[in-house]
Chain A
Amino acid sequence: MNKAAELTEEQRDGGTVIRLSGNLAIACLHDLPARLDAVQGPINAVDVSQVDHIDTIGAWTVHSAAKRLNAPITGANEDAKRLIEAVGTLDEPFSLRPDKVSPLTRVVGQIGDAVISAGTTLMGLLGFFGASLVAAWGLIRHPSRFRVNAVVQRFEVVGVSALGIIGLMSFLIGIVIAQQGSVQLRQFGMEMLTINLVGRLTFRELGVLMTAIMVAGRSGSAFAAQLGTMKLTEEIDAMRTIGVSPMEALVMPRTLAVVVMMPLLGFYASIVAVIGGGFLCAVALDIPPITFVQRLREVVPITDLWVGLIKAPVFGIIIALSGCYQGMQVKANAEEVGLRTTAAVVQAIFLVIVIDAFFAVFFTWVGWN
């Protein structure tokens, strides 16, 4: 049964006959198709009388060889005849690959596509922002439609569950800033300025920025994946037909949760980072915690805290909206969920940093430096 397929060429009646033998099933073909391809005509016949077993792939191989060599197939038993006839009726010209395009056209086309997609993404995000404002206005006018449970549940997922990782990250960042800062400042004999560095940097910038990056990675990606999967399984379409607006039921709770949680998490991150810095000062620089706190109160103006807290909800809106927007854009397949999730995180972090730069200029301009 499992005899490998064999090919022999024989001289018979003044011409060449290809004789196939053994098992012509896919598992036993081995290099037979290649050897058949190598046969050059003229051939009188393809003899399959010695074939024990044949499947459609074997039948196809025989059929296409016979067709190429323009030779009849002889000696086929009933099974073989049936299969060879069956595949013969299926032999039509085909194209399995999309048409090829020249590299130049392709490159130009890709650049054009990239520009168009960047433009549409930006417009789409803006439109989505508008739609979410409309939805928010709707909720303000009809507060009974507000989904308290959904929002509270998101509070937990976005905020409370993130406390551990954000705390650990901030503590380490605080230590790193204090340590690196003290090494440089020691050269001027001004190690005390480490406290200024830690205090001002974390409250103004790093606390909120690192939190935004972490939230974008944790929650923005989750939003995109959740909504994308719901889009694929037509849950969102089902929701629409029941008369529930996905903007209200899905996007609003998530956005609100992130907007509320970002300032809280940002503040928490700043405090923990300062504690990290204080810890290093106490251990490595012999600055007692009491001095650290006293000095902190003198050098960090309260406006630094406001700067951080004002930026946080704006970052939250960006993260939530780009996550939800990318999720809602999923259309065709599972791979797109992954791509959109990545896009959501990259876009959120990029936009957060861009907006952060604007904020830096703005706050300097209003004199909060």
Chain B
Amino acid sequence: MQQADERRVDDAIAQDGVAIRVRGLRNSFGDQVVHEKLDLDVRKGEILGVVGGSGTGKSVLMRSIIGLQTPDEGDVCVFGEAMVGRLDDEALAVRKRWGVLFQGGALFSTLTVAENVEVPIREYYPNIGPKLREEIAAYKIRMTGLPAEAGPKYPAELSGGMRKRAGLARALALDPDLLFLDEPTAGLDPIGAAAFDDQTRKLQQTLGLTVFLITHDLDTLYSICDRVAVLADKKVIAVGTIEELLALDHPWIQEYFNGPRGRAATAAVEREKNKVASASPEGRQ
């Protein structure tokens, strides 16, 4: 009990600069324990990549943070507000400040893309008139790189990649400070995935977002993540930049980043760097 109190004091001191603070999280399904004493901080304004093998509870961690899953134990603070055990209609001030992109987009299938984007605005800000709401929906849709014709379409008429972009547009509808992305590039072709990464980076810079990004995509990790958190053994075993993680001597991390795919992604990043380095002197001449 005393420990818990101390932890709260710690939280109060170090609240600045931290968007999400998870302490002592425990999740279990029946006998199967997914998380045990899991701690994680997400700093404001960073893109934090979350990686881990299948079944290590990446999505469960996200669901615990956004309150879709009530943990057995532990505290979750988002912008300094405790989120564990809050009902769906509580802590609205925090809920308005985050946007969530689910794996399949999770668009409301009976509404058009534009109506999907309008839902959060309509729900939280009824004072915004229909005309402005439509304009907002239109520029949000274009912001995510969808063509304007996508607005009146239904989710079933869109491809997987377009559905993800539409889901992103809905997640961005309220100009959130915090964005949760659950495997945003899974199932996209490499070109589409790279474009999506680009878009995410650009949006993060323009809007000053904090991004919690679950991914299996090594290219995404290398190209846009500021820090990477590794989930294994029921907790976050390491958080840091990829260089920092590579310096660690954990078999799973080594396997993950130094496996064939990891090496390919590293090589690609190196090539990019070299290209920039070799191109710039010529540019100056």
Q: Give per-residue flags for A12-54: 1 if the beta carbon is below 8 A from chain B beta carbons, else 0.
A: 0000000000000111011101100000000000000000000
Binary per-residue interface labels of chain B (132-152) against chain A in the complex, 1 for a CB within 8 Å, 0 otherwise:
101111110011000010011
Q: A60 contacts B136, CB within 8 Å?
A: yes
Check if B2 is an interface residue, CB within 8 A of chain A.
no
In the bound complex, residues from chain A placing their C-beta under 8 Å from that of B129 are: 33-34
B155 at interface by CB-CB < 8 Å:
yes
> Could you mark each residue 43-83 of chain A with 1 if its beta carbon is under 8 Å from any beta carbon of chain B, else 0?
00000000000011100110010000000000000000011
A97-B175 in contact (CB<8A) = no
| Range class of the A interface residue count | 20 to 34
Do B135 and A64 touch across chains, with their CB atoms under 8 A apart?
Answer: yes
Complex Cα distance A95/B96, Å? 27
Q: Which residues of A contact B121 (CB under 8 A)?
A: 26
Chain B's nearest CB lies how many Å from the CB of A12?
Answer: 27
Complex interface: stretch among A270-278, A303-311, A328-336: A328-336
* Interfacial chain A residues near B134, Cβ < 8 Å: 96
Assess whether B109 is in contact with A335, with CB atoms less than 8 Å apart: yes
**Interface readout for B77-106 with A: 1 if CB under 8 Å, 0 if not?**
000000000000000000010000000000
- A231 to B77 alpha-carbon distance, docked (Å): 40
B207 touches A56 (CB 8 A): yes
Chain A: which residue is nearest B121 at the CB level?
A26
Q: Which residues of A contact B139 (CB under 8 A)?
A: 56, 60, 87, 90-91
Q: With A27-B96, A90-B142 given, is the CB distance from A95 to B148 under 8 Å?
A: yes
Partner of A86 from the list B96, B112, B128, B206 (CB cut-off 8 Å) is: B206
Q: Are A97 and B152 in contact (CB under 8 A)?
A: yes
Q: Give every chain B residue within 8 A of A33 (Cβ-Cβ).
A: 128-129, 132
Partner of B125 from the list A27, A90, A335 (CB cut-off 8 Å) is: A27
Contact among B127, B128, B152, B175 with A96 in the assembled complex (CB-CB below 8 Å): B152
| B175 A55 Cβ-Cβ under 8 A | yes
Q: Judge whether A96 and B138 touch: CB under 8 Å.
A: yes
Decide if A92 is an interface residue (CB 8 Å cutoff): yes
Q: Which residue of B lies closest to A82 (CB)?
A: B206
> In this complex, what residue of A is CB-closest to B134?
A96
Are B152 and A95 in contact (CB-based, < 8 A)?
yes
Cα separation A60 to B175 with both chains bound (whole Å): 12
Q: Measured between alpha carbons, how far is A334 from B154 in the docked complex, in Å?
A: 12
Contacts A25-B175, A26-B174, A61-B132 known; A96 to B114 CB distance under 8 Å?
yes
Which A residues contact B (CB, under 8 angstroms)?
Answer: 25-27, 29-31, 33-34, 55-57, 60-61, 64, 82-83, 86-87, 90-98, 331-335
List 14 A-B residue pairs with CB atoms under 8 Å apart, sorted by A's residue number. A26-B175, A29-B128, A55-B175, A56-B175, A64-B135, A87-B139, A90-B142, A90-B143, A94-B142, A94-B148, A95-B148, A333-B109, A334-B110, A335-B110
In the complex, given contacts A26-B125, A83-B206, A335-B110, what are 9 additional A-B residue pairs having Cβ atoms less than 8 angstroms apart?
A: A26-B175, A60-B136, A83-B207, A86-B143, A86-B206, A90-B138, A93-B148, A94-B151, A333-B156
